Amino acid sequence: MDRVHFCNMDTDSMYLAIAGSQIEGYKQGLKYVIKDQLFYDLHYKEWLPWSDFTVAEEKKLMGLTTESQEENIVCLAHKYYSLYNGNELNDDIVSLVNQMKGVSKKKANLTTNDYIKCLNDGCNINVITNNLQIKMGVMSMISMEKSALTRIHNKMVVLANGCCAPFMYGINADNYLIE
């Protein structure tokens, strides 16, 4: 599987960029990246030992469930990503999913171009958030500035060739072999 790029992951989610068949489009899953289908069919149970499932349920590719899929993804950090269709070079981007942690998507009003700018330029984009707070029986509205988009995170190791690998305690970028 040399056409799968690991983009990002969190505790319960993983973001992959898959380069399979251009004819099939982006909804092909892992269909065209498994090189030896017979080997996969014979050995998938060894890698994914599940119990109490039917063979049809067990044979879902890698046990993955697709939550959303689009043509392109920009991952800044865990819980900070944008899914979009179109080409950023031609300015025909159609934003579909913009995810950021701890910030209201409606009030932030950020676009995929903001994610791309943050990724390319390394800038942080801040927004003002309003919160209600009760102290000693008095309700107050507090405005705070929060980072809506940032490139800073601690769950990823960036390798010398620009690829990303999951963070593991005691393992740094020098421990990975790049071919």
Confidence grade of residue 1 (pLDDT, cut at 50, 70, 90):
very low
Q: Residue 88 has what pLDDT?
A: 64
pTM, rounded to two decimals: 0.55
**Helices and strands counted in the chain (H then E):** 4, 9
Q: Hey, which of 8-17, 63-72, 136-145 has the most confident mean pLDDT? A: 136-145
Of 20, 18, 14, the residue nearest 5 (C-alpha): 18
Weakest-pLDDT range from 2-11, 17-26, 30-39, 132-141: 2-11
CA 7/CA 17 separation, integer angstroms: 7
Residue range 108-150, pLDDT digits in tens: 778 888 878 887 787 778 888 888 989 999 999 998 888 777 7
Which 8-state DSSP code applies to residue 95? E
What are the φ/ψ torsions at residue 44 (nearest 5 degrees)? Answer: -60, -30
Q: Residue 10 has what pLDDT?
A: 67
Find where tokens 């149970």 sit: 45
CB-based contacts of 92-99 (< 8 A; 24+ apart in sequence): 96/68, 96/70, 97/68, 97/70
